[in-house]
Structure 1
Amino acid sequence: MKQKVVIKVQMDCEKCRSKALKIAAVAKGVSSVSLEGDDKDKVAVTGDGVDSFCLTKALRKKFGHANIVSIEEVKGKDKKDKKGDETKIIPIPWNYAHYPPYVPSQYDEYGSSCIVM
């Protein structure tokens, strides 16, 4: 389930904004990160299976104040033409040419590979 999480973080400078984006980008399941709001104080994270609690906790460790504003489900595009998306698997015949041919040893008169006996 793809979802969009918006977290309000107390950020004062551009360096703080870039740190917040880096923290959000390395979270598990995140596919895109952006800044929202008039003061660019909200981090919007979109992804599949994003743990909003752990992400907010990580942002609180760094910035002190972070609150979840909204969590909403993102609906993707409907794929009506599924026939064009299918890929065909073509079986490849087995080829024995990559194995080296058996050559009897020059020291063995019976053709086995054991020299000791």
Structure 2
Amino acid sequence: MKTHDQRFAEMSFASVYPHYIAKVEKKGRTKEELHQVIEWLTGFNDQQLQAQIDDKVSFEIFFQNASLNPNAHLIKGLICGYRIEEIDNPLTQKVRYLDKLVDELAKGKKLEKILRNS
């Protein structure tokens, strides 16, 4: 049986991305705001992000290709019952960082707060 971490590693970013869009748009946020949040975390601009989607890369490859924001460690709190700062597997932690940012966007948090700029 695959572990939680293995499932994340093999899951394609493209399969989850439409759910991110639906989640934020349902709450009155925009795809552009979602892209801004993803770019902050990963360094991917719109073209680079689209290439990841078109190539149907796994989350493992997605985050290998990314330049993780140096302030990503400031993303804390609970997501799906897990405390983000206590997740041992680096890939799972990065996926949860992204989930948390999408959640905060959907919950109406201001972009300045989501982007944790020091």
How would you bin the TM-score normalised by the shorter chain? under 0.3
Q: Rg larger in 1 or in 2?
A: 1
Which fold has the larger relative contact order, with Cα–Cα distance below 8 Å and residues 6 or more apart in sequence?
A: 2
Higher helix share: 2
User: What TM-score, normalized to structure 2?
Assistant: 0.23
User: What TM-score, normalized to structure 1?
Assistant: 0.23
